[in-house]
Amino acid sequence: TKMKKHNYSAGPCILPQEVFEKSAQAILNFNNSDLSLLEISHRSKDFVAVMEEARALVLELLGLENKGYQALFLHGGASMQFLMTPYNLMKSDGKAAYLDTGTWANNAIKEAKHFGETLIVGSSKEANYNFIPKNIEIPSDANYFHCTSNNTIFGTQMKSFPKTNVPLVCDMSSDIFSRTLDFSQFDLIYAGAQKNMGPAGATLVVVKEEILGKTGRYIPSMLDYEKHIKAESMYNTPPVFPIYASLLTLQWLKKLGGIAAIEKINEQKAQLLYTEIDRNPLFKGTAVTEDRSNMNATFVLTDESLTEKFDTMWKAAGISGLTGHRSVGGYRASMYNALPLESVEALVNVMKELEKKCS
């Protein structure tokens, strides 16, 4: 088979090759049923089994089995969670605390403001979000605290999370399943599928049931976590294909040794690239060292006039998707779980090559 690209896309992004192959096969003939995954009822025995296994495997990989959590696969992307979170957790006369670490955190804040008092307890906006605010104070009467574990656009990542007595809510869209954490410190985790889990179209929500049902507000059925839990994540027709492909990715991760195993590889990849960014005088990282992300490395050329040359070189080396987010420019190397170490080696070689050509 033809060598695929070194795919640095920030999301949707690279998934394991076996997930592409197995999910393609399921579209043609699912479980040897002589039917496509796409033409059977979501309430068929075969699909209900997919949903059950996917929900269970999420909790298993996160170490959250039998701890009062439920895993849901919903529609609407992580952006829908920006409003489902306040709908389900902010009391009608309540307030919530938010950490402002980037574009996505900001979008979450914008939605929360429509539900009640929304305190921004820390922000790195003035520094173009190149660091994670530390030593933040969370009011003990807030209904919850919301943070973004990995800032996809700015390349920063929270290495620790505040200890607080209020429910801890985290948008983990771009680093879920990438590193070991004590996931039981969180009361609600959500993530769009389209980075470390599967195709776009499904959103993972992991929620501790005991925090629900306390707001006193009317919650539209489709936005009500309790209704989705009661319906075992089948309140309406779920996005069957993204869920199936997500299950395949979760199975791949389990086979590999789970989050602890992939974390080691992710650290290797990030270290290789950051070492080169720090060493090579032609490049500069944009996030402060202690907060930089192992998933999305953001960097710029120290001499912008080399842009065309560098771009031509990495494209010729089979690298794809290295351009930074349209709102910040520069470069962004997204090194999600399925990106092999060889792809990072290919990029580092191009960076060294550029240095040679310029000396």
Instruction: Mark the binding-site residues, compressed into ranges.
Output: 43, 78-79, 104, 152, 171, 194, 236-237
> At closest approach, how far in Å is the CB of 66 from ligand PMP?
29
The residue (of 94 and 201) whose beta carbon lies closer to ligand PMP is 201
The residue (of 332 and 348) whose beta carbon lies closer to ligand PMP is 332
Amino acid at 225: Y
163: left (phi over 0), alpha (psi -120 to 50) or beta: beta
CA–CA separation, 184 vs 179, rounded Å?
14
In the block, residue with structure tokens 């420019």: 329
- Alpha-helical segments (H) within the chain: 17-28, 45-62, 77-89, 103-112, 225-230, 240-256, 258-279, 307-316, 341-358
Which of 171, 175, 187, 291 is an active site residue? 171
The residue (of 13 and 19) whose beta carbon lies closer to ligand PMP is 13
Which of 100, 175, 195, 314 is an active site residue? 195
349: left (phi over 0), alpha (psi -120 to 50) or beta: alpha
The residue (of 85 and 351) whose beta carbon lies closer to ligand PMP is 85
> At closest approach, how far in Å is the CB of 147 from ligand PMP?
10
Whether 252 sits among the annotated catalytic residues: the reply is: no
Whether 315 sits among the annotated catalytic residues: the reply is: no
In the β-sheet with 168-171, what is the strand arrangement from edge to edge?
Answer: 69-74, 203-208, 188-192, 168-171, 145-148, 95-100, 117-123
**Cβ count within 10 A of residue 71:** 21
> At closest approach, how far in Å is the CB of 3 from ligand PMP?
27
The residue (of 10 and 19) whose beta carbon lies closer to ligand PMP is 10
Q: Which residue in 355, 335, 339, 318 sits closest to 273, CA to CA?
A: 335
Site residues for ligand PMP per CB under 6 A: 11, 77-79, 104, 148, 152, 171, 173-174, 192
Whether 175 sits among the annotated catalytic residues: the reply is: no
**What Å distances lie between residue 167 and 79, 86, 144, 174, 214, CA to CA?**
20, 12, 5, 21, 12
Catalytic residues: 104, 171, 195
